[in-house]
Amino acid sequence: MSKKKSIIVKDNNISILKKSGLDYISLTDIAKTKNPEEPKDVVKNWMRNRSTVEFLGLWEKINNPKFNGVEFDPLYEDSGKNSFTLSPTKWINNTNSTGIVLKTGRGGGTYAHKDIAFEFGSWISAEFKLYLIKEFQRLKNDENDRLKLDWNLQRTLSKVNYTIHTDAIKEMLIPEVVASKTASFIYASEADILNIALYGITAKQWRENNPQEEGNIRDVSTIEQLVVLSNLESINSVLIHQELSQQERIIQLNKIAITQMKSLIKHTSLKGIQH
């Protein structure tokens, strides 16, 4: 069982425990509202009723696959008789109950699944049952609100971390500056001029560095790189008509690639945060 919680029902403290993810409410605490000195007797008196035994048996049949129905039958047959007595311990031992459990030590006592506890509350009084349900539901609503808050916090942190991670990756997509001296030693096809300006590498160099990859460098490009590449193709045509040398065009295209990639990465990052 997990850490104990409690609710206040008509000025009475009622303990609640978790067992296998289910809520169990203290029958002992409820019984104290009727007999503070001998709450065990209150629970036993309730359990000896035929209607109570029938309800407990039905709950176990529905919710407990290991319920001992063979041992239940004689208990049900004897229930309601003047000589019949039934304690939580006897019920648990005979039927292998999971609806009622015992907790020893400090804060111990008899606990029951909320369905059974509400039924016991009804036996105490209809008013008490209604207040018990109301306060229990308030507790669950508070727990759900905290879970939602925790979930939203985790979701926000994950979103921020994802943005930081993707931004870090995208920063690596920004082309390196091609120096004038380096550009003067480059003799490449027009397609490779664009590759060098954007990727800093020729198609042949990429294939040599990535022998395990299929296709070419453009097949593994990001959407941002493909957008910039398309723009560079158009701009390169203009620069050719202006009769700029290959060296000059590489320098110009590289500067444009850097500027556009930075702009695209900033735009897509902001878009991602907004969603």
Assess whether 256 and 131 both reside in one domain: no
Assess whether 53 and 107 both reside in one domain: yes
pLDDT at 41 exceeding the cut of 50: yes
Q: Please give the pLDDT value at position 238.
A: 84
Residue 135 lies in a domain: yes
Assess whether 178 and 114 both reside in one domain: no
Q: Strands of 1-153 (E only): list them.
A: 5-9, 12-19, 22-26, 100-103, 109-113
Assess whether 48 and 140 both reside in one domain: yes
Assess whether 238 and 190 both reside in one domain: yes
Assess whether 113 and 201 both reside in one domain: no
pLDDT at 227 exceeding the cut of 50: yes
Q: Please give the pLDDT value at position 142.
A: 82
Assess whether 193 and 130 both reside in one domain: no
State which of 113, 147, 181 marks the end of a domain.
Answer: 147
State which of 147, 182, 198 marks the end of a domain.
Answer: 147
Q: Please give the pLDDT value at position 153.
A: 57
The mean of the pLDDT values for the chain is 82
Number of separate domains in the chain: 2
> Contacts for 47-52 with beta carbons within 8 Å, 24 or more apart?
47/86, 47/87, 47/88, 47/91, 48/79, 48/80, 48/84, 48/85, 48/86, 49/79, 49/80, 49/123, 50/76, 50/79, 50/80, 52/79, 52/119, 52/123
Looking at this protein, which amino acid is placed at residue 243? E
Assess whether 117 and 203 both reside in one domain: no
Confidence of residue 129 (pLDDT cuts 50, 70, 90): very high
pLDDT at 264 exceeding the cut of 50: yes
Residue 165 lies in a domain: no
Assess whether 31 and 142 both reside in one domain: yes
Q: Please give the pLDDT value at position 183.
A: 56
Average pLDDT of the segment spanning 52-68: 95
Residue 220 lies in a domain: yes
Confidence of residue 176 (pLDDT cuts 50, 70, 90): confident
Residue 124 lies in a domain: yes
CB atoms within 10 A of CB 197: 26
Residue 160 lies in a domain: no
Q: Please give the pLDDT value at position 77.
A: 93
The whole-model pTM stands at 0.53
Residue 166 lies in a domain: no
State which of 132, 147, 162 marks the end of a domain.
Answer: 147
The residue with greater pLDDT, 48 or 154, is 48
Residue 122 lies in a domain: yes
Q: Please give the pLDDT value at position 14.
A: 93
Show the domain range for 213: 173-274
Q: How far apart are CA 207 and CA 214, in angstroms?
A: 9
The residue with greater pLDDT, 243 or 254, is 254
